[in-house]
Amino acid sequence: MKAYTTLKKDFRENRWRILLGLIALLVVDVFQLLIPRVIKHAIDDLTLGNPLPSHLLTYGFEILGIALVIGGFRYVWRFFLLGSARRIERSLRDRLFSHLQTLSLSYFSRTKVGDLMAHATNDVEAVRMSLAMGLVFLVDTLILGTLTLVFMISISPRLTLFAVAPMPLITVITLLFSRVIHERFEEVQRSFSSLTERVREAISGIRVVRAYVQEEQEGDKLSRLSRDYVNKNIRVTKVWGMFFPILLFLSNFTLVIVLYLGGRLTILQSISAGDFVAFMSYLGILSWPMMALGWAINVVQRGSASMERLNAIFREVPQVSDVLARPMPENLQGMIEVRGLTFGRGNGDRPIRHDVHLSVKKGASIVLV
């Protein structure tokens, strides 16, 4: 998390928005867990065979009211949390662009423009995602996961133990896949950088390309880079293709365990039919925090890697720093003299001129070719 210390000022400026968003997210998580409780009471009334229409109508209005609260507060947390992430993204991009304008020409001579464009787009976007959805995933894992377990244990501690046994495996698999996705995403970023640089060079040098009839050759170069970019994205897609079926299998496997053991407990009247239905609902809710933990680690890792690349740019300093502006004298007198000047492009090449001495007297004009 050290990489994010650069954004300390932005966090302070948006701290109240972030706090309100987290409070709204907490309200949503708590109210989500109330719906299975209402369904439990409705199922128990139906099982006992004496449901009153007024009771069923009350249960329906309770669920409707809970849904309205969830919808309202979900809008609030998205507005504040995602909005704060967008504000930080804007501030980060502005700061990056302003800093780039202060750097020396030697930095740009050794850095590809495509790399800088990738930093200003993909890396800034990855940081925003880690601040927005990464924070949401972490909070959901801690709050929603913990509260769901409490509600499940209140129904049947034994059944909860069997139900959550495969759940850590979901987190481990998500974490393993996230690391692979992270590595392949880095390859996609590098390929995107090369592709962007190729397009920039071709367009900025279009007069030379047309003058020397190099359209076909430039098209071949771009085509190779484009194929490489597509292939690297397909490699990421292959991982995603395996990831979700595995998670779905583990979730359904847990469902089988609960269906068998919970059904036996219901038949033996250890728990009511309403408890069984509510427990199944909580099990479905619990699957999300288990997956969200892996997602959070993946998103934060990706954002941290992108933030570190941006920090490397921020650590660059210009070779010549501007001094504080001093008042200019109204009347300048004397001459301009240069002594022992050695000049180069500053990118590691040999100097172009050695030990230059020059005197420019008042009223004279000097031309250097």
Which CATH fold would you assign to the domain 2-314?
Answer: ABC transporter transmembrane region fold (1.20.1560)
Q: Are 140 and 294 in contact (CB under 8 A)?
A: no
**DSSP class of residue 179?**
H
Q: Rounded distance, CA 279 to CA 38, Å? A: 12
Q: Rounded distance, CA 77 to CA 74, Å? A: 5
Residue 94: pLDDT band with limits 50, 70, 90: very high
Encoded tokens for 150? 């409490």
Res 160 pLDDT > 90: no
The domain ranges of the chain are 2-314
* 165 closest CA partner among 258, 245, 33: 258
Residue 96: pLDDT band with limits 50, 70, 90: very high
Q: Are 232 and 187 in contact (CB under 8 A)?
A: yes
In degrees and rounded to multiples of 5, residue 184 shows phi and psi of -70, -30
Q: What's the pLDDT score for residue 90?
A: 92
3-class secondary structure, 52: coil
Residue 20: pLDDT band with limits 50, 70, 90: very high
Please compute the mean of the pLDDT values over residues 322-337 and round it to a whole number. 75
Mean pLDDT estimate for the chain: 83
Q: What's the pLDDT score for residue 105?
A: 81
Distances (CA, A) of 334 to 72, 219, 250, 337, 362: 74, 58, 85, 10, 7
Res 308 pLDDT > 70: yes
DSSP string, 113-155: HHHHHHIIIIIHHHHHHHHHHHHHHHHIIIIIHHHHHHHHHHH
Res 347 pLDDT > 60: no
Distances (CA, A) of 287 to 174, 253, 258, 284: 12, 12, 13, 5
Residue 51: pLDDT band with limits 50, 70, 90: low
Q: Rounded distance, CA 128 to CA 207, Å? A: 38
Residue 275: pLDDT band with limits 50, 70, 90: confident
Please compute the mean of the pLDDT values over residues 40-64 and round it to a whole number. 81
Encoded tokens for 185? 């995403």
Task: Summarize pLDDT for 239-266 with one digit per residue, the tens.
Answer: 877 877 777 787 778 888 888 888 888 8
- Residue 276 CB coordination number (10 Å): 23
